[in-house]
Structure formats: C-alpha cells, structure tokens
Amino acid sequence: MDASAFGRLPHVEAPLSYIVPMSGKPRSLEYEPPPGVAHTTAVHRDYTVTIRDVRPAASALSLEREGFQLVSAATGVSDLYDQEAVRTRYYAETISLLEELTGASRVVVFDHTIRRRVPGAADRSTWSPRQPVLRVHNDYTVKSGPQRVRDLLGDQAIDLLRRRFSVVNVWRPIRGPIQDAPLAIADAESVDAEDLVATDLLYPDRTGEIYYVKFNASHRWLYASAMREHEVMLIKCFDSAVDGRARFVPHTAFVDPTTPADALPRQSIELRTLLFYDE
C-alpha cells in the first residue's frame, strides 16, 4: 500500500503482544502440561502501535502484495455453529470463492476453528469454541507449510510440492458487527524475515511450527472496522513462491480502546485452506 494513502487512513492506538527475543527456540504445549510445566517458554510484551482502518482503501488490497484481502461474500449457511453444514456447504462455498478470486487450480479446506470471546476464561487448544488469539503470530513457517501438505495429502504431496502453493485463512464474523477483539493484520511488505521467530507447537502426536513475531516499528498494521457476517478476510499464512509476493502475514486479535461497553463478545469462524496453482 502506498505510504501516503496508508497515512491518511483513520486509526486507533492499541497494544499488541510481541514475543521477546530469547536465546533458544521457543515452544508451546498444545495439551494440558504436567504439574509445574509451563504451557510455553515464549515471553510476550505489549507495544502500543497505530492500527489503521483499511475500509477506505479496501479495494486496493491484494493477497499477492499486502497478503490479505477484504471480500464481500455472503454465505448460505444460516448457522455457522452447525458443524455438518460448515463441513459440507460452507467448505464448498469457500472453495468456489477462492478458486474464483485466486485462479488456484485446486483448493483444499482442511480445518476450521470457531472463536468466541469469553471474558476471564483461559484458552486451550482442546476447547471449542476457542478464545481469540491476542499474540502477534503467523500460522505457518518455511518448514511447516510444506509439511502440512505432506501430512494431509500423503503421496499426492510429492507432485503438488513441485509447483506453487499457498495457505490462506478465511476469517468471517459469525455475528456482527465485530467491535470486540477485532482482527489486526500486518502489511506483508512491512515485515522483515528477521522479525519472524520460529516456535515449536508440541501436540501429543506431532510437532508443528508457527512464527511468533518480534516488534519492529516499521510494521504497518490494519484492520477492517465493524466487519459483518457477509464479509470475509482472506489472510495468506504461507506462499511457496519466493519472487517478491507476500509469503507470511502476521496477525492478532486486539483490544480496541474505542469498543463500546455494550459490544457483543466476538464470535468468528476461520477456515484454513491449501491453494495449489499451475505455475
């Protein structure tokens, strides 16, 4: 996004939680730890940043440049808590949407998470719905992006990984407008590779990897104010291409100081998808 246009966008000031640099590789347990063992070795610190409302410039956003895109795409699923309807009808809708918007030759929806903020409750990966994530992160890394394809698609992965693929999250409000714990997204062009900290996620049966993110005053943060049910935010969490297009897009929920006191707690659904291209 052009710097002058970015600077003219309306904004709020809010704290975002970044990882504190450490000597070893951080790790987080995605299960209940034994007594006396911490869930994570990562330490986070809040930095107050400017988060600009992208609505006046939403039409200029690109998955390839900034790494995220706000799209109007109503769903025919009336109850997004209906797991069967989500896995059949909503997954199919999302596949068609992504094929049309990106030109991907194949789209695989492999997971979804419902989030509902419950004030004062802790979050655990086994709970559903889950709490919004209040730490700056990116869901996949150079290592874990291709590994996800291998884990999910087995022998097909050998051929698929010879060509470009990406991982895109599709984020939608279940009940809008979203005023409580909205989603902040960093312009990928403002993020340096050195800002990304690979962190192990330890599950009972496997080890995953995400990026936490170190503070950099150059990060350009954006959000879409008052998102409603007919809107989705596409967030590119991985791209195998190394030709200058967006590859990793840090994001986080945040506490908006302008949120009305009577705002409904955030409810949202995110689908995780693999996109494969004939290039």
Residues 21-75: tens digit of each pLDDT = 999 999 999 888 889 889 899 999 999 999 999 999 999 999 999 999 999 999 9
**Sheet with 267-276, edge to edge strand ranges:** 68-72, 231-239, 165-173, 267-276, 106-116
Please state, for a pLDDT cut of 70, what percent of the chain lies above it: 97
pLDDT the model gives residue 236: 98
pLDDT the model gives residue 202: 93
SS3 8: coil
By DSSP bridging, strand 44-53 and strand 196-202 are unpaired
pLDDT the model gives residue 190: 97
* pTM greater than 0.75 (yes/no): yes
CATH class of segment(s) 3-276 = mainly beta
Range list of H helices, the chain: 3-7, 83-85, 91-102, 144-153, 156-160
DSSP string of 140-187, one letter each residue: --TTHHHHHHHHHHTTHHHHHTTS-EEEEEEEEESSS---SSPEEEE-
Dihedral through CA 178, CA 3, CA 133, CA 129, nearest 10? 40
- pLDDT per residue as tens digits for the range 104-158: 999 999 999 999 988 766 665 555 678 899 999 999 999 999 999 999 999 999 9
Q: Could you tell me which of 104, 49, 52, 16 has the C-alpha nearest to residue 218?
A: 49
Q: Are 182 and 265 in contact (CB under 8 A)?
A: no
* Domain range summary for the chain, segments of one domain joined by +: 3-276
- Dihedral sign, Cα of residue 223, residue 237, residue 25, residue 133: positive
Give the phi and the psi of residue 220 in degrees, each rounded to 5. Answer: -105, 115
- pLDDT per residue as tens digits for the range 174-227: 999 999 999 999 999 999 999 999 999 999 888 999 999 999 999 999 999 999
